Copies of this chain bind each other. A is one copy, B any other.
Amino acid sequence: MSIKVLLNEDEIPRQWYNLAVDLPTPLQPPLGPDGKPVSPEALAKVFPMNLLEQEMSPQRWITIPDEIIDILYRWRPSPLRRAVYLEKALNTPAKIYYKDESMSPPGSHKPNTAVPQAWYNKKAGTKTLTTETGAGQWGSALAFACSLIGLACKVFMVRISFDQKPFRKTMMETWGATCVASPSTETEAGRMFLKKDPNTPGSLGIAISEAVEAAVTDKTGSTKYSLGSVLNHVLLHQTIIGLEAKKQLAKIGVKKPDIVIACAGGGSNFGGIAFPFVADKINGEKIEIIPVEPASCPSMTRGIFAYDFGDSAGMTPLLPMHTLGHNFIPQPIHAGGLRYHGMAPLVSQAVVEGLVTPRAVAQLECYRAAIQWARTEGAIIAPETSHAVAVTIQEALKAKEEGKEKVILMNLSGHGHMDLLGYQKFLAGQLSDYSLPQEEIEKAESEIANLPKPSAKKTGKW
């Protein structure tokens, strides 16, 4: 029985997959403050043109430069593992496979896009990258990539995670980056949010505002901003995960998974594994594809599909996405990477089309799943990843009830070595669940009431 499927160097995918080309209804464009589509030129202060071309590319397949492959090969192709010990503990007929993205030096899937983003920026003449980070996985990944490729890196880290995970800062500094808690006093946006609430836990939306401001206000023009999720080119880079998984499943004779599961904060880890299978679903395959979000930050399951800002200060273009409102400040749950008010437009559109079926899980169920995972499969996973594991367990138990030998494919997005405070509190019985009150949704509705509306509709096909 194969408990680990590896690919050789020459089997690494050489192209990224662009789902935008295959979506039944075309993806709606980002809009400027005037309500008109934003041109790449208008965004050129923030991102280099080579990445903006990818963001809006009409090509289905985009070649990965050899120099990027050389770096990715440090930890890719990532192993496809079978969770035999968990299967046995659950006594399920389901076969659970998972891509192990925790093997990268920073410990998550994030370097899959950090490396290309740093590489394209370097090529375009960028000297410094600014970014935000939630739990710290993304900030670490960009610090790592900038270190290898030779760029300076400045990270705005959401306050609550900065406090919960002090060593993430040390990690980024070890790779030569600088890291400050957000909101900070270094930007106008940061000072504004601190004035509104000096004790704010911060949010990804606020940190994005700060990082974008820090980039566009640099007068040399050699500072750009880098985003770890949400945007099309970010999800594009992550599709290498799903493309590898397909080759690995084929290698052991598995035609297709019945269910694909990944956690979703901004959507890059989910899109990374899921999009190549969404393509198959568009082409007629029967696959259930589940992005999992926290019950306390349920953009897809309870949010509104609308045009909204990607950040809290309203500095980004308006994106067509599921949102809880750009002023939404999520509860300080431990899965910091899932504390985002919005969702990637590509994932949101797939939700609207009915191609993927989101599910929300509460914190305690996730930690229970993480503990069961550690005691069976061995690895201590990130709190974000535990959302995927919780639904994997739900589905494996459902398969047992139904007596069906389903194939489940899960994305293990990262390890939890930097997240042990959450485990400690859970084991000590100090964590509790939180369900978002309906008033918060109503607040979001009024907040976006005067923004343009996207027109995508469910086709009813899936």
Residues of A within 8 A of B (CB): 2-4, 6, 8-9, 70, 73-74, 81, 85, 103, 105, 107, 144, 147-148, 167, 170-171, 173-176, 371, 374-380, 415, 417-418, 420-421, 423-424, 427
Which listed residue (B170, B375, B376) contacts A420, Cβ 8 A?
B170
Instruction: Kindly provide the distance from the CB of A302 to the nearest chain B CB, expressed in whole angstroms.
Output: 31
Is A171's CB under 8 angstroms from B420's CB? Answer: yes
Q: How far is the CA of A424 from the CA of B8 in the complex (A)?
A: 37
Instruction: Kindly provide the distance from the CB of A231 to the nearest chain B CB, expressed in whole angstroms.
Output: 25
Q: How far is the CA of A31 from the CA of B263 in the complex (A)?
A: 57
Q: How far is the CA of A2 from the CA of B107 in the complex (A)?
A: 23
Q: How far is the CA of A418 from the CA of B4 in the complex (A)?
A: 26
**Across-interface contacts of A107 in B (CB, < 8 A):** 417
Given contacts A148-B85, A423-B174, A74 and B4 within 8 Å (CB-CB): yes
Q: How far is the CA of A380 from the CA of B175 in the complex (A)?
A: 9
Is B148's CB under 8 angstroms from A378's CB? Answer: yes
The copy count of this chain in the complex is: 2
Given contacts A74-B3, A148-B85, A174-B427, A421 and B375 within 8 Å (CB-CB): no
> Closest chain B residue to A106 by CB distance?
B378
Is A170's CB under 8 angstroms from B423's CB? Answer: yes
Is B4's CB under 8 angstroms from A144's CB? Answer: no
Q: How far is the CA of A421 from the CA of B170 in the complex (A)?
A: 8
**Across-interface contacts of A380 in B (CB, < 8 A):** 105, 171, 174
Given contacts A73-B4, A170-B420, A378 and B144 within 8 Å (CB-CB): yes
The 10 closest A-B pairs by CB, nearest first: A105-B378, A167-B420, A417-B417, A170-B420, A170-B424, A105-B379, A147-B375, A174-B374, A170-B423, A174-B423
